[in-house]
Amino acid sequence: MRLLPRASRRALIAAGAVGALAMGVTVALPVVNAMAASGCSVTYTIANQWQGGFTANVTVKNLGDQLNGWTLGFTFPNSGQQVTQGWSATYAQSGANVTAASMSYNGSLATNASTGIGFNGSWTSANPVPTSFTLNGTVCTGSTTPSSPAPSSSASPRPSASPSPSQPVGQTPVAINGQLRVCGVNLCNRFNRPIQLRGMSTHGLQWFANCYNDNSLNALAGDWQADLLRVSMYVQEQGYETNPAGFTNQVNNLVEEATERGLYAMIDFHTLTPGDPMYNLERAKTFFAAVSARHAAKNNVIYEITNEPNGVSWSTIKNYAEQVIPVIRANDPDAVVIVGTRGWSSLGVSEGGNSTEIINNKVNATNIMYAFHFYAASHKDNYRAEVERAAAALPIFVTEFGTVTYTGGGAVDQSSSTAWLDMLDRLKIGYANWTYSDASEGSAAFKPGTCNGSQYAGTSVLTESGNFMRSRIRTADNFPTS
């Protein structure tokens, strides 16, 4: 659909309550902040808890000199607590004492720089939180334990006209929904209820890496109140094929940043030219083996294995998918995988076909969805009609769309964009808008030059498309929890 190079809910919760489902009861769990006058500060958040287990997210901030390699140390208050599976650090435990050593990609911490790690743990009789931490031997002191208000007394960061009485509030999309799965034609959360994710796609990382920093991602999670960051990694066009290790690291780092903010991260293997996905089959196997191994312990990663196949048959795309999906499943058996469709992920419509070829010959794998892309000023009633028809038989995710023409340029078509999003909302089809960047094209969310500065929140830095999308994404989510 695109002819030119292309190319993402909440603010970090620093204090307050985090809801969790424990034995069928919604409870409030504490966020503990250990602040040091010098050296370091640590935020330890229990993001989820269940009978005998929990998930903790930890943000480490260096307040001292530049670090090139670090080790965080803390002691569990209860001897029955154990780290069972961790990410973004190498964990060791002796008795109640735990250390988490940096990885190669996050070991460098400048003064006032932060990084996030996390782990799943187990507990026996109680699950109190650590209140003292060290960073390379420097004590992070002065910890406080804020009171934990009941869920009903805390306002949700995203307004909700009629929240479910049992829905945890003050939480991120991932904390509420947990591990997603495909159920029938829907994307469902950990409560087995259909949900819709709404978010933004990056542009090509080789061109717009400066757009994806702490300030812009905080704006996406907090100001935009998004659920999803699509990480768009071009394979050709000065992308992955030129530096596989470097681009893999870029993707991994953005997944970590999305995870810190409680966003779902969609890893997009952005193939466009050539349109035959088999051209990149071995690259795809190598890439997805690496990223799925890295993120297997996370519950917020979605894999999009080919962006816009074109000029090839559905059977070719299906063949590709059935070779790549097992590579992901070997490391991450539970993650949702999205398969591109014929005709630039148009369900075949842009090449004179339709979704019948997919419905009659589905990919031989479970927990998968099918991609659909549109550009509102170019693709209108006949495309919408095909999505409406296909959605009754196929789980669909709109992994990319624009408010303008398929070139990425031209004026915003608000009428067609509204018709599209109203339909997607009604059908509970998730979406990622192209593009969370300051590219000089109509589809960009930010005005040109924005990514050279530090201001991303609010409307003054947004284009017409950005303002339209921000207003749509900020409306209340419907995340059923019962």
pLDDT in tens, 199-234: 999 999 999 999 999 999 999 999 999 999 999 999
Instruction: Give the residue numbers spanning the domain of 269.
Output: 173-473
15 by DSSP, 3-state: which?
A: coil
**What are the tokens at 184?**
């029938």
**Is the whole model's pTM more than 0.75, yes or no?**
no
- Residue 404 neighbours by CB distance under 10 Å: 24
Collapsed DSSP state (helix, strand, coil) of residue 17: strand
**Dihedral class, residue 477 (left if φ above 0, else alpha if ψ from -120 to 50, else beta):** beta
Residue 157 within any structural domain of the chain: no
Note whether residue 479 is domain-resident.
Answer: no
CATH number at residue 121: 2.60.40.290
Considering 100, 129, 145, which residue would you say is the last residue of a domain?
A: 145
Contact 312, 351 (CB under 8 A): no
Lowest-confidence region among 77-86, 135-144, 349-358: 135-144
Cα dist from 56 to 117, 132, 211, whole Å: 9, 15, 28
Cα radius of gyration rounded to whole Å, the chain: 22
Q: In the structure encoding, which two tokens stand for residue 474, read together?
A: 């900020």
Residue 76 burial (C-beta neighbours within 10 Å; 0-12, 13-18, 19+) = buried
Residue 209 — φ and ψ, nearest 5°?
-60, -30
Task: Give residue 278's pLDDT band: very low, low, confident or very high (50, 70, 90).
Answer: very high
344 & 399 share domain: yes
* Residue 167 falls inside a structural domain: no
**390-432 confidence digits (pLDDT tens):** 999 999 999 999 999 998 989 999 999 999 999 999 999 999 9
- Residue 379, pLDDT > 70, answer yes
Question: Which pLDDT value is given to residue 38?
Answer: 60
Q: Please write the tens of the pLDDT for every residue from 25-50.
A: 333 344 444 444 467 888 888 866 76
> For residue 91, with 0-12 CB atoms within 10 Å meaning exposed, 13-18 middle and 19 or more buried, which class applies?
middle
| Rounded distance between C-alpha atoms, residue 31 and residue 28, angstroms | 10
Same domain for 384 and 462?
A: yes
CA pair distance 73, 136, nearest whole angstrom = 8
User: With 70 as the cut, is the pLDDT of residue 9 above it?
Assistant: no
Q: Same domain for 121 and 194?
A: no
Q: Are residues 178 and 116 in the same domain?
A: no
Mean pLDDT is lowest, of 5-9, 73-77, 320-324, 458-462, for 5-9
Question: Could you tell me if 68 and 186 lie in one domain?
Answer: no
In a domain, 5, yes or no: no
* CA 421, 423, 428, 429 torsion-angle sign: negative
As given in the structure block, the two tokens for residue 237 are 């066009």
Which of 125, 145, 165 finishes a domain?
Answer: 145
CATH code of residue 342? 3.20.20.80
CA dist list (Å): 4 to 204, 206, 402: 12, 15, 13
Residue 231 forms part of a structural domain: yes
- 257 and 391 belong to one structural domain: yes
Question: What residues act catalytically?
Answer: 308, 400
Q: According to the per-residue pLDDT averaged within each range, which of 53-67, 141-155, 466-480 is highest?
A: 466-480
CA distance 401 to 373: 5
Per-residue model confidence as pLDDT tens digits over 221-267: 999 999 999 999 999 999 999 999 999 999 999 999 999 999 999 99
**How far, in whole angstroms, is CA 310 from its chain's centroid?**
26
User: Using H for helix, E for strand and C for coil, what is the string for 31-96?
Assistant: EEEEECCCCEEEEEEEEEEECCEEEEEEEEEECCCCEECCEEEEECCCCCCEEEEEECCEEEEECC
Domain end: 145, 164, 186, which one?
A: 145
Written as six digits, the tokens of 157 are: 């960061």
Is the pLDDT at 103 greater than 50? The verdict is: yes
Residues forming a β-bridge with 100? 72, 91
Q: Residue 82's beta-bridge partner residues?
A: 122
> Looking at the domain assignment, is residue 1 inside a domain?
no
* Contact of 5 with 232, CB cutoff 8 Å: no
pLDDT of residue 98: 93
Predicted confidence at residue 333, as pLDDT, reads: 94
Phi, psi of 32 (to 5 degrees): -110, 130
Are 369 and 245 in the same domain? Answer: yes
Residue 307, pLDDT > 70, answer yes
Residues 293 and 236 in one domain: yes
Query: Domain check: are 128 and 183 in the same one?
Result: no
Structure tokens at 313: 């048959």
Cα 324 to Cα 338: distance, rounded to the nearest angstrom = 11
**Nearest CA-CA partner of 402 in 428, 437, 370:** 437
Shared-domain flag, residues 309 and 263:
yes
Higher pLDDT, 289 or 115: 289
More confident residue, 8 or 79: 79
Confidence band, pLDDT 50/70/90 cuts, at residue 124: confident
141 falls in which pLDDT band (50, 70, 90)? Answer: low
Residues 97 and 241 both lie in one domain: no
Residue 18 β-bridge partners: 29
**Does any domain span residue 53?**
yes
Q: Which residue has the tokens 């990514």?
A: 451
Within-domain flag for 91: yes
The domain tally of the chain equals 2
Q: Where residue 78 falls among pLDDT bands split at 50, 70, 90?
A: confident
Residues 179 and 55 in one domain: no
With beta carbons less than 8 A apart as the criterion, state whether 87 and 298 touch: yes
Check pLDDT > 50 for residue 22.
Answer: no
